[in-house]
Amino acid sequence: MKAIASHNGLAAAQRAYELASTGSSPLDACVAGVALIEDDPEELTVGYGGLPNEDGVVELDAAVMDGRLHRGAGVAALQKVRHPAQVAQRLMEQTTRALLVGEGALRFAQANGFPEENLLTDKARRMWLYWKRTRSNFDDWRRPAADETDLDVEHWFATRFYGQAAREGRHGTVHCAVQGPTGDLACTTSTSGHAFKLAGRVGDSPILGAGLYVDNEAGTCGSIGHGEANLTHLSSFAAVELMRTGLSPVDAGLELLRRIAAKTPEHERDENGRPKFNLQLFLLHHSGAHAGVAMWGPKQIAVCDEQGGRLEDCTPLYER
C-alpha cells in the first residue's frame, strides 16, 4: 500500500493512505485526500482560494481515473464549486461521459447537490488586482502608488511570478495517487490553472492521458507544471506505457522529460536551449515503486506508506 502526491499534497497523501488502509477504495481515498487541499484558502493553485483567470473569475479543472475499472472523467472551467475532483468522480460513476466543461459541468454539479459559492478569496482578489495594475502601461489601469503598496502581494509577484521564478509561480496543481491493499491503483488531479489565464483556458489536469493516467497492469502517473507541454506529449499516458515496457518509474519519467525538452518550441527555451518552464511527473509502478521527476530541481514528491508521511527529493533533468 502506498500514496504519493505532489509536493503541496502531503496532507492529501496521508489522508488518502489512512482511508485506503481502513477500507476505502483507492479512488475514494484519493479524492478525499485532495479535498483537503481544495479547501485550503492559502493554497493559491487549487479550489477555494485559487488564483482567478484574467477576468477575476476562479475556474477549476480536475480529473479522476480508476485503475480497477480503467475508467476516468474530468471537468474543466468549472466555476462556483470548490471540489472539482468530486464532481469528476460523480461524472465517471453516474454517466458514460468522460469530460464536461463550463456551464455543463456546473449544471451537473448542481444536479448532484454541490453547493455554489464565491471561490475568490480576499487574498486572491488582491493579487489579481495587483496584476491588473502592473501588467501594462498602455491600458486604463495606473500602477499602485507607494502608499497603496500591498507588501505581501508585491513580494509574491517579485519572488514567484516574474523573472526566473516564473517557471514556478504562474501555475500549480495538486495530484494524488494511491495503491490499495489489493494492488488496485487510482489517481486524481485538481487545479485552478495558470494564474490570470485566458478565460476558458483548459490545461492538462482534466485530460486523461495528459494530466494523469493509470493502468493497473503498469502503474500511474500524474503531472503538475506547464500544462500545454503535457497536452502535446500526453505525458502521463506515455510514462505509464514506458513503465509497462520495463523502465523504472524514475527512468520512465526522465525519458519523458527528455522528449519534451527536445521538442520545446524556440520561444520557450532559455539562452542554453533548455525549457524555461518547469514540469513534474509523479509515478507509481504497479510493484509499489515510486518516483518524482522534475524538469528543473530541486523539487519534492509527497509519499505516505508504512513508514509514515514524508517529502522526498525529485530527480531533476536540470539543476538550477
Residue 272 CB burial class (10 angstroms; 0-12, 13-18, ≥19): exposed
Q: Is 173 a catalytic site residue?
A: yes
Query: Of 173, 191, 264, 315, which one is the catalytic site residue?
Result: 173
SS3 content of the chain, % helix, strand, coil (to 5): 35, 25, 40
SS3 state at 65 = strand
Spatial distance between the Cα atoms of 76 and 60, rounded to a whole number of angstroms:
6
**C-alpha cell read off for 90:** 460523480
| Phi, psi angle pair for 203, to nearest 5° | -95, -150
Spatial distance between the Cα atoms of 122 and 109, rounded to a whole number of angstroms:
25
What are the residue ranges of helices labelled H in 135-248? Answer: 151-156, 166-169, 227-233, 235-244
Active site residues: 173
